[in-house]
Structure 1
Amino acid sequence: MLVFISDLHFVDETAGKHNIPTEAFRIFFQDIAGNVARYKKNKRDIQEIKIVFLGDIFDLLRTEEWFGYPVDERPWGNNENKIEAHAEDIFDTIIEKNRDTFNLLKNGLKDEFSFPVERIYIPGNHDRLCNKYPKLRKKVRAALGIAGSANMFDHSYQNTGYGVFARHGHEFDKFNYEGGLTYGYEDHMKVPIGDPITTELVARLPWQIMQHSTVKALPKKERDALERNFQEIENVRPFSATIEWLLYQVKNNITLKEAIEDSIDEAIKAFNKLSFVKKWYEHHDKWTDFLDEADKIQAALFLLEKFKIFSSEKIMPMIEKIKDYFSKDDLLEAAPKEYAHLDNRIRYIVYGHTHDPLQAPIRIVQDPSGTKEHVYLNTGTWRGRYYKTKEGLGFINWKNLTYTVFYTKEERDTDFPAYETWTGTLKSE
């Protein structure tokens, strides 16, 4: 049995209390254990359980801690020794904030399963630093209960017995992967623009608002509520609806309109002044491409800067145009191309990254061994999310939990490796 989960985004809680409760993992493991017991009762041959943590497990970017350090000591700076030390401190806080969950993982899940469970970790973009530094690699292994030393983690996973090839999937997101088509270690270590966007824009904006003198003068209860609302910004889906989310917050906090707009301006100006961002713009702003990646980001930031100038009625059509720039599912387009370099026993491509659970049929292949179905699956996320309403300017939130299970032919007594995928939804607030 091969199980995939991804995009858990454990955080240090400085940029929001968004960690998944331990009970969710306990229920998940109990469900898997129940499946194993049921299959064994039916004389099916389940001899192993492998759990793959498919990236963005530890979120070292969504934190306010980086703001306390000079820019050169942040992940897009050059002071590697300091960056490593700060990343270790953030990682340690993440573990402490999720102590019960990691104790459950580290202790071998002995209470849930009658035999050892192998845990496999594939880094994503938010935990890129976890694979960059030997000490962090050791800490990851200790936290997840993975045997081994400080060796580098693989960025993909293949198992022909289950017919699966998997990677986090950010490799096909031009804002979150800066490497080449070899997808090697050095490719994955290059800093993408998504890193400073997450920290210097998304995590910084709520922090910036809370520094404003008008906000500081509010009663504590109002300040806390305002901070919680803005800290949900990275949980807005689709991502392209982020600008509308900010408009929505301004509408709901009209007395703070000026303070919010001032804070947005300050965050954008600070972002654009970053040496890394300037160099990234220069490298990606191609005169031969009318709408390259640099143009898309600059267009979105331009709109944010014009909050004070344009009315909601004037800005909404421009927002719709910007949303079109970010609407394409690059991972869905990439999945069919993966098979060209894979073992012909691979049937299933598995990614995470998008936070959107998905099963998409790719093709049917006829070969001497029989008919094969190629399918792309996305493992979604366990994080709560806010969704733009179809009508009006509003957002509704709920939580999802997605996991995908693959079986060998022997485990399910089938002619091919089988799979099942489950997504649960909770609306409780």
Structure 2
Amino acid sequence: MLVIISDLHLTDGTSGQTISPGAFELLGERLADLAAAASFRRDGRYEPIEQIDLVLLGDVLDVIRSNRWLKTTARPWGDPTDEGFFSTVAEITAETLRQNDRSFSQFRRLARDGVTIPCATRDGRPVTELTIPVPVRTHYMVGNHDWFFHLPGEKYNRLRSQVATHMGLATYPDAPFPHEPWESNELLQSMRRHKVFARHGDVFDPFNFEGDRNSSSLGDVIVIELLNRFGLQVERELGDDLPLSALAGLREIDNIRPLLLVPVWIDGLLERACPQPAVRKQVKKIWDELADEFLEQPFVRERDTWCPVDIVDGLQKALKFSRRLSVGWASWVAEWICELRGASSSSYYMHALAEQDFRNRRAKHIVYGHTHHSEMVPLDASYAEGFVLHQTYFNSGTWRRVHEQTRFSSREHEFIAADTLSYLAFFKDDERRGKPFETWTGTLGIATLGGVTHRVDRPVEQTPSPIIQPVATQPAVVQPAPIAALQPTTSQPATSRSYAVDQPISTPSVPLAAPHFAVPFAPSPRASEPR
């Protein structure tokens, strides 16, 4: 049995939270369940499987998303042989391993003990009273946020050895961790036994791969010089002026995919969570100034000379509020990214159609990660002389929070978040009664605070709508009514102004019974009730 997970993005704690250790405990339980199910054969016999190969398909340790880069002159696009470069990578790696030790203890336990499943009788039935261990071999493949473990050299071997020991890896540390499956013979043979071809998928993203996985890319510069610096600078300059909900929202900035939609997301966050137009303007000014500095980076300017698409001009339109399109900004960004990839949609299935292992029919399953969007796309079905071959593309999703843009109106800059966790399991020969694969994706919605609805498109002096009736001791009650200006539930003088004037927000083209966006600035009256 072959199991694939990717895009855990475990960090050193300087740039936000990562997934709970409980998710890794769940993984251990699910591996045991999968192994027991895989031990049932096509003819109904129960025969324990020999081994589980667990593939970590890139972006597991996130070395890029660390504020430690901002405390040194070293950068990922510098010289990997430079001592400052290596010491920064080593420091981030060591702290990431320390911060996530409880999570990695589950990998070490799997490497030491494997998973236990029922023994089998001589006539092929499970015996639940007796158990047998099934070994788990964990393989590490790199992506665009952990590509440093693909660098050659003795000092990087020592770093890989530290990672392998801490995570219980079967991957050989005295050579670069593989970026492609053919860079590890054991990994390649396991994939071929299961009719799988898997890679992280960054090779199809022109912002995160430039032909050599031993070198940096534009995505690294965006994260470090723009995203990391932006959060720190906003908190430093405007931390006392921004509402807590806006500050908390800005800490989610790395969970937006693709990254070029971050300014679209910031725009929506400020519209609903920051009532002061002057503060909103200042936040956007900080972003634009950092975007200008990013665009002037020599590493970025050099890309403008050889790219067939005017990438710097495109980045200006995508990143800067001052260059934004008046209509369809988000749609243009998405289309431009697809144009750079030479694709017609955000899905990577079109790249799977060009894989050699797909075209020569060696692989039934083509697997990528990177996009943080789990999916399964049928590619082809072949029939010849009683032989059937189904070929399918899978994306392994992520173990992160994901913010997805709403579809109601492309003009609106609203996103809905959910915590996600995905894994893919592939079975060989007659495992799992002959079934070839099993996938699982779990999503957990994010709790939103109830309470006040804030509109920023009309002043409070207008006649209040009957949508919300303020009651001092009761939560606000929403009644069907046309969309109009709303009063906050807390009393205030009639002359005070909680909403910005002349800041229009696109409204739905169909009438709705309740406000279309509602984000509180105060806790819900029910927040203190016992649960």
Q: For this structure pair, what is the TM-score category when the shorter chain's length is used for normalisation?
A: 0.7 to 0.9
Give the whole-Å Cα distance in 1 for the aligned partners of 2:374 and 2:24. 18
For 1:123-202, what aligned pairs fall within 5 Å after superposition?
Answer: 123-132=142-151, 133-147=156-170, 148-157=172-181, 158=188, 159-179=191-211, 187-202=212-227
Give the whole-Å Cα distance in 2 for the aligned partners of 1:110 and 1:33. 12
In structure 2, the partner of 1:339 is: 356
Give the whole-Å Cα distance in 1 for the aligned partners of 2:38 and 2:363. 24
Q: Does 1:263 align with 2:289?
A: no
Q: Does 1:97 align with 2:99?
A: yes
Aligned with 2:420 (options 377, 391, 400): 400
For 1:229-240, what aligned pairs fall within 5 Å after superposition?
Answer: 229-237=249-257, 239=259
In structure 2, the partner of 1:311 is: none
Q: Does 1:386 align with 2:403?
A: yes
For 1:346-361, what aligned pairs fall within 5 Å after superposition?
Answer: 346-361=363-378
Whether the 8 Å CA contact 2:11–2:61 is kept in 1: the answer is yes
After TM superposition, give the deviation of residue 235 of structure 1 in Å: 1.2
Letter in 2 for 1:97: Q
- Secondary structure class of the residue paired with 2:144: coil
In structure 2, the partner of 1:253 is: 274
The CA deviation string for residues 27-62 of structure 1, in whole angstroms up to 9 with x for no partner, is 121022023234447504411111000000011111
Whether the 8 Å CA contact 1:123–1:168 is kept in 2: the answer is yes
After TM superposition, give the deviation of residue 223 of structure 1 in Å: 7.2
In structure 2, the partner of 1:110 is: 113
Whether the 8 Å CA contact 2:357–2:363 is kept in 1: the answer is no
After TM superposition, give the deviation of residue 239 of structure 1 in Å: 4.6
Change in Cα spacing, 1:109 to 1:389, as seen in structure 2 (3 Å) is farther
Give the whole-Å Cα distance in 2 for the aligned partners of 1:122 and 1:404. 15
Matched length: 400
In structure 2, the partner of 1:14 is: 14
In structure 2, the partner of 1:204 is: 229
Whether the 8 Å CA contact 1:172–1:330 is kept in 2: the answer is no
The CA deviation string for residues 148-197 of structure 1, in whole angstroms up to 9 with x for no partner, is 33211222233222100110011111111100xxxxxxx21122111111
Letter in 1 for 2:349: L
Q: What TM-score do you get using the length of structure 2 for normalisation?
A: 0.70
- Secondary structure class of the residue paired with 1:381: coil
Aligned with 2:62 (options 55, 59, 77): 59
- Which one has more relative contact order, counting CA pairs under 8 Å at least 6 apart? 1
Q: Does 1:26 align with 2:25?
A: yes
Whether the 8 Å CA contact 2:303–2:311 is kept in 1: the answer is no
Structure 1 residue runs of 4 or more that deviate by more than 6 Å after TM superposition? none
The CA deviation string for residues 372-412 of structure 1, in whole angstroms up to 9 with x for no partner, is 11111110001011222233442221111110000011323
- Secondary structure class of the residue paired with 1:189: coil
Task: Please state which structure has a larger fraction of its residues in helix.
Answer: 1
Using the TM superposition, name which of 2-11 and 145-154 deviates more.
145-154
Change in Cα spacing, 1:296 to 1:44, as seen in structure 2 (3 Å) is farther
Using the TM superposition, name which of 112-121 and 363-372 deviates more.
363-372
The two structures, once aligned, show a CA RMSD in angstroms of 2.4
Give the whole-Å Cα distance in 1 for the aligned partners of 2:15 and 2:103. 20
Q: Does 1:316 align with 2:327?
A: yes
In structure 1, the partner of 2:342 is: none
Whether the 8 Å CA contact 1:350–1:379 is kept in 2: the answer is yes
Give the whole-Å Cα distance in 1 for the aligned partners of 2:78 and 2:247. 28
Change in Cα spacing, 1:170 to 1:358, as seen in structure 2 (3 Å) is same
5+ residue gaps in structure 2? 117-132, 182-187, 339-344, 448-531
The CA deviation string for residues 315-337 of structure 1, in whole angstroms up to 9 with x for no partner, is 33344323321253362211011
Q: Does 1:5 align with 2:5?
A: yes
- Secondary structure class of the residue paired with 1:337: coil
Give the whole-Å Cα distance in 1 for the aligned partners of 2:206 and 2:198. 19
In structure 2, the partner of 1:183 is: none
Change in Cα spacing, 1:40 to 1:198, as seen in structure 2 (3 Å) is same
After TM superposition, give the deviation of residue 122 of structure 1 in Å: 0.6
Q: Does 1:412 align with 2:437?
A: no
The CA deviation string for residues 253-295 of structure 1, in whole angstroms up to 9 with x for no partner, is 24221330221122112212222111122232x3xxxx45444
Give the whole-Å Cα distance in 2 for the aligned partners of 1:164 and 1:223. 49
In structure 2, the partner of 1:310 is: none
Aligned with 1:425 (options 431, 443, 454): 443
Q: What TM-score do you get using the length of structure 1 for normalisation?
A: 0.86
Give the whole-Å Cα distance in 1 for the aligned partners of 2:388 and 2:310. 40
Identity %: 29
In structure 2, the partner of 1:68 is: 71
